[in-house]
Structure 1
């Protein structure tokens, strides 16, 4: 037994022993945190698919030395656990037996975006982070994160690519549903509870490491566009509130978050270099490391180095501001900036070449590998936590008490904007749109036409502009206002029968006409039909308060400053609005 394999020795001693035994190639492999897929039956992928990877799973682990992976897609818990054990077995058979760290994007709510999150599937279903923010209860967030931790541990996930603590200050930005809204103070309270729920008081074998994102705050995007795409790369601060966006990250660091992810954005008009944050030494080393004192792992967002194919479409690397550099030059600049790991990449040969040429000293690589190995030891991956039990996974994921807690949180998060006839009683004749008739039938008599109804129940989603490209279609951006045909259709229904409208607020919808004419107006952030109907019929008490304001017009949105919270003129509903029933 080598010292690094001895669980009785101190972690730092084990790290140094293992580091001294590693070749440059083995060290380089640790610097990549890439995407993996799995077969539906829980077996590893053994045929390369250029849409996700140029290499098979065994090639990435045994051939290229990678040991950090982000699982793509939704699967059964028993299959995920079986797959996790299979790839751990492959890793155990390598020269040094370095275990795999498996990560995931959020998968406990309703959003399904291949570039950001997965719907709950077999996991317990909770509201989006915006819904947790609407309840304003740090204890609820802690219980949520603790549930996530337990479900993740059972299938082998040891790093959560969340929480997301950007401030929702640009109403058009597509990523707001994953945030805690527009208030920096509340976001700080909730992220601290979230980190403690995932990690505990200290990182250990029962922890899931929290990768907090997107440093230094991805909310103030020019025109609300997203920097996954070239037309959204600019991040601006016309209101001068750059420091406000740091407050949630300060809270996360104080709570002991293990990892941090810089965003793609390229700051414009500041004293920072105008390059993406993953390449930005003033941000990663100067601000995050030196000023804020962060000592954990810094992992870039996915796809900064190489062009890629996503859903069959070519996408250029998000190397904003350094597009002209080669892949090796980009990697060197990011390492110089202070990052430890490259998300979504699988080119360790580039790091080996940088070391061999002397461009990047091996000691610099050692500093990052040391952090990465230390976390594996702390998480127990070299010891008792390498493998999981598929039977336990099947029993734990979606467990009845977890599901019940998520369902209760959905009901609490619903926000009553206008109450009108609520709560309803009896068994009225109901006309429904966007609600499953079989669910509504438990509350009233479902009829086929509005004219036959005592009341209509209408569920809507926040409007967005259709964008070209399969990948970009997942990022709901652009106008927040209902287009004329849809608005006319909705208003015609409201004129025909008293209507309770519920709008899913993945972004702040512009809906003054609907607010004026609906019999009652509610907002949800991810809630099932039964949760909504329980609130409408007074069987559950909603507690939600708006986590951002709802603008009156798109003109007001365009005139607002993207870094300033709740900055639109004369909003229909202000931040924090919500009625009790």
Structure 2
């Protein structure tokens, strides 16, 4: 037995022993954190131009950090079986270094390949912005602890979340992944999030929280996203740079083990105008020196190599260094202070850089030591290398976890308006003698069970548990309509998943809802993945509700009074696009005369 295989020795001794036995190629492989695809039957997917075969990457490339990509529905048991298969491959390599499996968020009701996966066999919770609407650190801590248990059972050891970014720019396409716009509230929630995943310190029962996107994405110029060249610039017209650092400071205090910088390129600041992953002033200067962070820094995906994603050409997000070749980009990333390159699989570039004398092997060793340290802390070299697929099936998505997720969804729902019904309108709550009902002159919510409802965007089979369902509005007491927040479609493929641009509906998009609201009391729910302009609906809908990724069951439980409405807005809702365009990207809740202010929400 070598010293690194001896669980009785201190971790630093084990790291030093293993590091001394590694070839440069093996070290270089550890510095890449890329994708691995899983078939529905739990087998590793065959490689293609976008995602090479996982076995080849492990055996021949020395890679052993993988963000899982599932093709079709894959149960937690099948993820666990896949995990064990690739661990067996890794155990058969020269040094047997175990694989570390990571995932983007996968506890939501919404499925968006650009940001998160739907829950599948895991418990389903609101999107992070919905957790922000609860403003409850204990609920967030409980979510993170449940997600930790589910991930751990399936073999997932790194959560590529939370996002500590602030939702200060209303048009930004990734708002739904944040916890809101207020730095102090987000800081409290981030603390709970990190502690729920990692515990008091990183250990065998932990899942690493890779907090992103340092030093705070969100203030993107014009609200565009830095995945794309037209959105690469990050701006601070309100001088709020330090404000965006607050949630990261909370994450550091909570013990966050890993950090991911964003793609964005700061402009008109004191920092070099290059993407944060290439930015030595930001990573080495701010993160390492000012904050003393000595954990793993992993870049966001695809900073070095041009690729094709979902049939769409995607140039490397090498903002500000587009002129550099791939070797020079890798060198600049490492010299900036990063340890791993996300979404890349080109260890040969690091080998070339060392061979040419442009990069010292001692600098490589600094990063490899950090990376190995986390593998040892997580117990991957010892009892945690393999998982029990049967236990994954039992633990992930267990009924109590699903129930808590559903309760989290309910608690995130925000009732924005609940106006009295016109005297000549049918009662939305049934007869005045019904228990818990309101008269025709009273508020619309809660709706009375057993009324007749017309549905648009709600599953009739779900609603039938609450009311009679009709497909004729003329026969209905109330209409219930669900809509996604408006956006401006851009391109196809990967870009289509980024809801960007306008926050207001067109007249054509609004017409069916307004026509319905003109004929009978209409409850309108809007999925607020961004702060929509709801001004045209606010005076027309009988009740207006904001949700953040919740099921029909969670919504109807609140609308029909089976659960209280307690959520409050995690960002303000602007009154117009003109107000949005006049606001400053880095300043929270900065639109003039918002329709609904931050924290608004009726208690029903």
Q: TM-score, normalised by structure 1?
A: 0.99
Inter-partner Cα distance in structure 1 for 2:115 and 2:324: 27
Show the counterpart of 2:584.
561
Q: In the alignment, is residue 57 of structure 1 matched against residue 80 of structure 2?
A: no
Show the counterpart of 1:338.
337
CA displacement at 1:211 relative to structure 2 = 0.2
CA displacement at 1:235 relative to structure 2 = 0.4
Inter-partner Cα distance in structure 1 for 2:493 and 2:540: 36
CA displacement at 1:312 relative to structure 2 = 2.0
Show the counterpart of 1:173.
172
Q: In the alignment, is residue 281 of structure 1 matched against residue 280 of structure 2?
A: yes
Structure 1 outlier segments of 4+, above 3 Å: none
Alignment counterpart, residue 71 of structure 1, candidates 56, 68, 73 = 68
**Mean Cα displacement is larger for which, 420-429 or 436-445?**
420-429
Inter-partner Cα distance in structure 1 for 2:533 and 2:31: 44
Show the counterpart of 2:354.
355
Inter-partner Cα distance in structure 2 for 1:262 and 1:425: 49
RMSD between aligned residues:
0.8
Show the counterpart of 1:393.
392
Show the counterpart of 2:22.
22
Residues 110 and 117, structure 2, Cα contact 8 Å, conserved in 1: yes
Show the counterpart of 1:449.
472
CA displacement at 1:48 relative to structure 2 = 2.2
CA displacement at 1:111 relative to structure 2 = 2.8
Inter-partner Cα distance in structure 2 for 1:38 and 1:490: 41
**Pairing 1:515-530 to 2, within 5 Å after superposition:** 515-530=538-553
Deviations 1:52-103 (A, max 9, x none): x2x3211100111001000012511111111100000000000000000000
Residues 525 and 547, structure 2, Cα contact 8 Å, conserved in 1: yes
Deviations 1:506-530 (A, max 9, x none): 0001011101111111111111111
Show the counterpart of 1:4.
4
Show the counterpart of 2:429.
none
CA displacement at 1:542 relative to structure 2 = 1.6
Inter-partner Cα distance in structure 2 for 1:217 and 1:466: 26
Show the counterpart of 2:436.
none
**Pairing 1:288-437 to 2, within 5 Å after superposition:** 288-420=287-419, 421-437=444-460
CA displacement at 1:133 relative to structure 2 = 1.0
Deviations 1:359-389 (A, max 9, x none): 1111100000000000000000000000000
CA displacement at 1:110 relative to structure 2 = 2.2
Q: In the alignment, is residue 225 of structure 1 matched against residue 224 of structure 2?
A: yes
3-state SS of 2:454 partner: strand
CA displacement at 1:115 relative to structure 2 = 2.1
Show the counterpart of 2:515.
492
Inter-partner Cα distance in structure 1 for 2:77 and 2:118: 18
Inter-partner Cα distance in structure 2 for 1:275 and 1:377: 34
Show the counterpart of 1:87.
86
Q: TM-score, normalised by structure 2?
A: 0.95
3-state SS of 1:157 partner: coil
CA displacement at 1:438 relative to structure 2 = 1.1
Residues 165 and 213, structure 2, Cα contact 8 Å, conserved in 1: yes
Inter-partner Cα distance in structure 2 for 1:361 and 1:219: 35
Deviations 1:220-245 (A, max 9, x none): 00111101011110100001001000
Inter-partner Cα distance in structure 2 for 1:252 and 1:561: 26
Q: In the alignment, is residue 34 of structure 1 matched against residue 31 of structure 2?
A: no
3-state SS of 1:70 partner: strand
Which consecutive unaligned segments of at least 5 residues does structure 1 have? none
Show the counterpart of 1:144.
143
CA displacement at 1:313 relative to structure 2 = 2.0
Deviations 1:23-58 (A, max 9, x none): 00000000000001022211123x32113x2x3211
CA displacement at 1:444 relative to structure 2 = 1.2
Inter-partner Cα distance in structure 2 for 1:540 and 1:40: 36
Residues 234 and 267, structure 1, Cα contact 8 Å, conserved in 2: yes
Residues 109 and 551, structure 2, Cα contact 8 Å, conserved in 1: no
Residues 205 and 380, structure 1, Cα contact 8 Å, conserved in 2: yes
Deviations 1:482-540 (A, max 9, x none): 11111122111110110111111100010111011111111111111111111111110
**Pairing 1:113-262 to 2, within 5 Å after superposition:** 113-262=112-261
Inter-partner Cα distance in structure 1 for 2:454 and 2:44: 48
Show the counterpart of 1:271.
270
Which consecutive unaligned segments of at least 5 residues does structure 2 have? 420-443
Inter-partner Cα distance in structure 2 for 1:10 and 1:292: 26
Inter-partner Cα distance in structure 2 for 1:205 and 1:474: 36
Residues 113 and 475, structure 1, Cα contact 8 Å, conserved in 2: no
Show the counterpart of 2:489.
466
Corresponding residue pairs, total:
578
CA displacement at 1:469 relative to structure 2 = 2.2
Inter-partner Cα distance in structure 2 for 1:462 and 1:293: 40
Residues 266 and 275, structure 1, Cα contact 8 Å, conserved in 2: yes
Inter-partner Cα distance in structure 2 for 1:545 and 1:43: 43
Inter-partner Cα distance in structure 2 for 1:223 and 1:515: 26
Inter-partner Cα distance in structure 1 for 2:377 and 2:522: 55
Inter-partner Cα distance in structure 2 for 1:302 and 1:110: 24
Inter-partner Cα distance in structure 2 for 1:426 and 1:114: 37
Inter-partner Cα distance in structure 2 for 1:135 and 1:396: 25
Residues 216 and 262, structure 1, Cα contact 8 Å, conserved in 2: yes
Inter-partner Cα distance in structure 1 for 2:312 and 2:573: 35
Inter-partner Cα distance in structure 1 for 2:136 and 2:375: 32
Residues 110 and 118, structure 2, Cα contact 8 Å, conserved in 1: yes
Inter-partner Cα distance in structure 2 for 1:508 and 1:16: 50
